[in-house]
Chains A and B, each alone.
Chain A
Amino acid sequence: MNAQPDARAPSDRAYSDPYLAGAGLGVVLLAAFVLVGRGLGASGAFASTAAGAVVAIAPERAAASPLFSHYLEGQGPWLEWLSFELAGVMFGAWVSAKLARRLRIAVERPPALARGSRLAFAFGGGVAMAIGAALARGCTSGQALTGGALLSVGGWLFLGVAFAAAHTLAPFVRRLWS
């Protein structure tokens, strides 16, 4: 794909129009409601995988956890719907990047930030998001997007405070991104 040069940064040039990509995403979310009566998500796949790992090592600890016990009912932690959905996400993302010739092994970071530092902050940010998503019972996909589209009070609350917190903290971590 050869995009025409324009005023935007070179790295942005090849990506789709955000409104178009967003509308496409909305159609996918609507299709999920229509096909299976539930929306999209991400964090539940990790919560169920964590439940599966803990129940294999310490079953009594897993059963006592309000987070893990939820995933031990029904078909069990390894047949969680969101885990299959996320496997699909990784496949779909790979196909899209392959078609656009964007596949590249890299650590995304500003030049002034060491590779190791970026990876450490990525890991730490992941830990913090897990705490948040576990308490909120979902993340950007499951609460903000899915809950938001269904006009859930908790979904809108999560959407509002998560973005407010990120915007508020951003000036203090500017070093990580520029």
Chain B
Amino acid sequence: MSAPLIADEALGASLGAAVALGAAFGFALERAGLGSARKLVGQFYGRDLAVMKVMFSALVVAMLGVFWLSRWGLLDLRAVYVPLTYLWPQLFGGLVFGAGLVVAGLCPGTACVAAATGRVDGVFVLLGFLAGMIGVGLVLGSFADFYTSGAHGAWTLPELTGLPYGSVVAAVVVLALAAFAGAEWFERRVR
């Protein structure tokens, strides 16, 4: 047996898994308190570093799981979709996204959590996000060259650095542990 277990062609099973995985995702985000804009922006004012702790913990757990499952032959990495790299639009898009994030106080996923738990500001973030998507989609044809610039396909850090997969995984774990230690030290100092 080798994962992924559900083929793209099995649309019903795939969409059923989408709802179930989404429900668990939303449950975890709400438990962490990330449906609250004021808690979330605490990250950017050094009051509450929960965003970084949640994201880095999740990233490291999933990264280690993918690494070991593929090493044991249980997960076929070639069948896992790696988001494509387009350097320039991702650099510029990241900057604009980060600016919008600190103004909105919620990212698209956490805005769904906010909206579902009764926060009207979450609903307005989602309305703005949908309106923005319609607007940007209508004008993006004029910026097609920029939109596809710096294209590198499915490009990973091991390929970029020439280091073995396991070494990059270990480096990310060390980075995360250092960030957690730094966050705990910083929060103790602030309180």
Query: A: which residues have CB within 8 A of B?
Result: 7, 11-12, 15-16, 18-19, 21-43, 46-47, 49-51, 53-54, 61-62, 64-68, 75, 79, 81-82, 84-97, 100, 102-110, 118-167, 169-170, 173-174, 176-178
Contacts and interface: CB of A to CB of B under 8 A. Distances in A.
Nearest to B180: A19
Given A27-B61, A92-B24, A140-B107, A127 B141 contact: no
Nearest to B76: A37
B-side binding surface: helix, strand, loop or mixed?
helix
Contact of A88 (B25, B86, B93): B25
Chain A binding surface, main DSSP class = helix
A11 B39 contact: yes
B82 A94 contact: no
Contacts of A128: 96-97, 99-100, 103-104, 132
Nearest to B31: A16
Q: How large is the interface on B (under 10, 10 to 19, 20 to 34, 35 or more residues)?
A: 35 or more
16 contacts: A19-B57, A22-B54, A28-B21, A29-B61, A37-B4, A67-B137, A85-B18, A90-B113, A94-B116, A109-B121, A122-B124, A123-B127, A133-B129, A137-B89, A141-B107, A149-B59
Contacts of B83: 39, 137-138, 142-143, 146-147, 150, 152, 154-155
Contacts of A127: 100, 128-129, 131-132, 135
